[in-house]
Amino acid sequence: MSVWEARDLPVLLFLSENPSDDGMLWTHQLSDQPRSDLPQLSELDFLRSVQTLRDADYVDWSSTSAEGGGTRFFSDFQVTGAGKQVLGLWPRFDALGSPGELASVLEALAEDAATEEERSNLQRAAGAVRRTGPEVVRSALVGVLSGLARTQLGI
């Protein structure tokens, strides 16, 4: 089993499923005792994983500080979009496929549209996507989806 499978993936999943209400993450950098909320890892291994995950751009924080007894805390801690992508919780913009595939999805959505106006709009969008190059479609979707994500996350 790799370090990713044994340590980093479980930590990333745990951090994603248990976000801090105040944006703070605490650990004890000098302890080899099991972490209470992730007992298969020691506090030190948890810290190493958090640092590794940041190197991979899967988590981020604004600042970190250590206290005298070995406690380390991270301010404004969050799992990033890249971290959520690796967990399958966030869209992979590079996996959107060809304009034809996206147009097919829009056409399928049009078939089940609740109103005639929605159906017509989705069909027109599918036609426009089919006439557009893949890079233009990807760029537009990345911009739209990124803006939507930032709005929903308040960032």
Residue 25: predicted pLDDT: 96
Contacts 24+ apart (CB under 8 A), 46-49: 46/11, 47/72, 48/7, 49/7, 49/8, 49/11, 49/12
What is residue 13's predicted lDDT score, i.e. its pLDDT? 97
Task: Provide the pLDDT for residue 154.
Answer: 67
Report the C-alpha gap between 69 and 57 in whole angstroms: 28
Question: Residue 106: what pLDDT?
Answer: 81
pLDDT at 155: 63
Architecture of the structural domain at 3-86 = Orthogonal Bundle (1.10)
Looking at residue 93, its pLDDT comes to 57
**pLDDT tens-digit profile, the chain (155 residues):** 899 999 999 999 999 999 988 999 999 988 999 999 999 999 999 999 999 999 999 999 999 999 988 999 999 999 998 899 899 887 665 555 677 777 877 887 888 778 899 889 889 988 888 887 777 777 777 777 677 777 776 66
For the whole model, what pTM was predicted? 0.63
Residue 73 is encoded by which pair of tokens? 């805390």
Where do the structural domains in the chain lie, given as residue ranges?
3-86, 93-153
